[in-house]
């Protein structure tokens, strides 16, 4: 009787232990603690140091604001390509670059691909994307005229690269994933329009598209971590919240008022495919005063918050990539 009680107690303790994912950088403590079904899970997929390294380079003065067609955006493209190569992520096309003309200038998106493991579901594609261009230069303040574009949108690029690294190491996601970094966004979504049209011509089976836009600063007094543009158009946000059993994504009335769904790269894919395509953002119109200004600098970002957000999003995307049925759909 005593032995049976001890064995039962041990099983209860083991079943309630936190699940811990090893960090790629054990020296950095970035943990997202999630209360899920009365069990605390520690999510540890990316670190603030990883995100910070990408943002600080992409938003450095050396890149001079990453205007499409500039030397600075070429350096950014090389940086992104080298990251994808280091993760052993294959180009989707012959090379990582998807070339197009942006108002007469040579321009390119950067696209990496992870093929799904399921012989049927691998034909369904999940796209994670962000734009890596910015406006170049702006109104000078104290002699500084470089609009570095840290929040807009080096933060989104850093998140996509970190998730690309994570999913490249998993090797068992049923659906295929495209990691897409766009130029030409600031000129009217030119890069994403070109890529969406090219993928539509190839007749890919798009499952979902998620765009990351300005996620470097936490929102103020919200019950959720980030908002979803076009929240009501599909069931994606509620499904992602259900996948992690956490209030992760919500509706921001201001985003609907200013029609942000139509103003970032997700819209290009929605328009081409009429499939769930949304942007995730934390810019709530009160928490960041440097939009398209020279003050959008890397040192103003909250990297612990970014790591927390990405660490909470990854399990949702992982579930999305592995459900045996297509659960995410447009609302009627």
Contact between 181 and 156 under an 8 Å Cβ cutoff? The reply is: no
Gap between the Cα atoms of 329 and 332, Å rounded: 9
Q: Are strands 124-131 and 97-102 parallel, antiparallel or unpaired?
A: unpaired
Gap between the Cα atoms of 173 and 316, Å rounded: 12
Q: What are the residues facing 36 on neighbouring strands?
A: 39
Give CA separation, 130 vs 85, 148, 180, 279, in Å.
18, 16, 7, 9
What's the confidence (pLDDT) of residue 13? 31
What's the confidence (pLDDT) of residue 43? 58
Gap between the Cα atoms of 74 and 69, Å rounded: 8
In this structure, the number of other CB atoms found within 10 A of the CB of residue 17 comes to 10
DSSP H/E element including 278: strand 277-281
DSSP string, 144-195: EEEE--IIIIIHHHHHHHHHHHHHHHH---SSEEEEEEES-GGGTSHHHHHH
Burial class (CB in 10 A: 0-12, 13-18, 19+), 259: exposed
Q: Which residues of the chain have pLDDT under 70?
A: 1-44
- What CATH architecture applies to the domain 46-320? 3-Layer(aba) Sandwich (3.40)
Contact between 125 and 205 under an 8 Å Cβ cutoff? The reply is: yes
Contact between 72 and 84 under an 8 Å Cβ cutoff? The reply is: no
DSSP category for residue 268 = H
Contact between 268 and 189 under an 8 Å Cβ cutoff? The reply is: yes
DSSP string, 71-107: HHHHHHHHHHHHHHHHTTPEESSSSSEEEEEETTEEE
Could you report the per-residue pLDDT of 120-176, keeping only the tens digit for each?
Answer: 999 999 999 999 999 999 999 999 999 999 999 999 999 999 999 999 998 889 999
């Amino acid at each position: 009787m005593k032995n049976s009680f001890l064995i039962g107690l041990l099983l209860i303790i083991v079943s309630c232990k936190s699940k811990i994912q090893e960090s790629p950088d054990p020296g950095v403590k970035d943990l997202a603690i999630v209360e899920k079904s009365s069990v605390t899970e520690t999510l540890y997929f990316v670190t603030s140091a990883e995100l910070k390294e990408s943002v600080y380079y992409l938003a450095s003065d050396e890149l001079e604001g990453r205007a499409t067609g500039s030397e600075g955006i070429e350096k950014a493209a090389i940086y992104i390509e080298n990251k994808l190569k280091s993760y052993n992520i294959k180009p989707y096309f012959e090379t990582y670059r998807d070339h197009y003309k942006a108002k007469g200038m040579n321009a390119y998106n950067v696209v990496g691909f992870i093929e799904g493991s399921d012989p049927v579901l691998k034909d369904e594609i999940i796209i994670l994307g962000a734009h890596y261009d910015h406006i170049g230069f702006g109104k000078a303040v104290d002699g500084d005229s470089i609009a570095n574009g840290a929040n807009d949108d080096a933060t989104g690029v850093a998140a996509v690269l970190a998730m690309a690294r994570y999913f490249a190491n998993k090797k068992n996601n049923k659906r295929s994933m495209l990691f897409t970094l766009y130029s030409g966004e600031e000129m009217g979504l030119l890069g994403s329009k070109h890529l969406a049209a090219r993928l539509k011509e190839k007749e890919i089976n798009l499952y979902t598209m998620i765009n990351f836009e300005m996620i470097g600063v936490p929102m103020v007094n919200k019950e959720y971590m980030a908002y979803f543009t076009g929240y009501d158009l599909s069931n994606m946000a509620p499904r992602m919240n259900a996948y992690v059993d956490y209030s992760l994504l919500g509706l921001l009335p201001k985003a609907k008022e200013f029609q942000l769904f139509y103003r970032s790269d997700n819209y290009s894919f929605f328009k081409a495919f009429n499939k769930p395509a949304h942007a995730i953002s934390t810019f709530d119109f009160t928490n960041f005063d440097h939009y398209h200004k020279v003050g959008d600098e890397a040192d103003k970002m909250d990297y612990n918050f970014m790591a927390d957000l990405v660490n909470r999003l990854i399990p949702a995307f992982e579930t999305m990539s592995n459900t045996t049925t297509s659960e995410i759909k447009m609302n009627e």
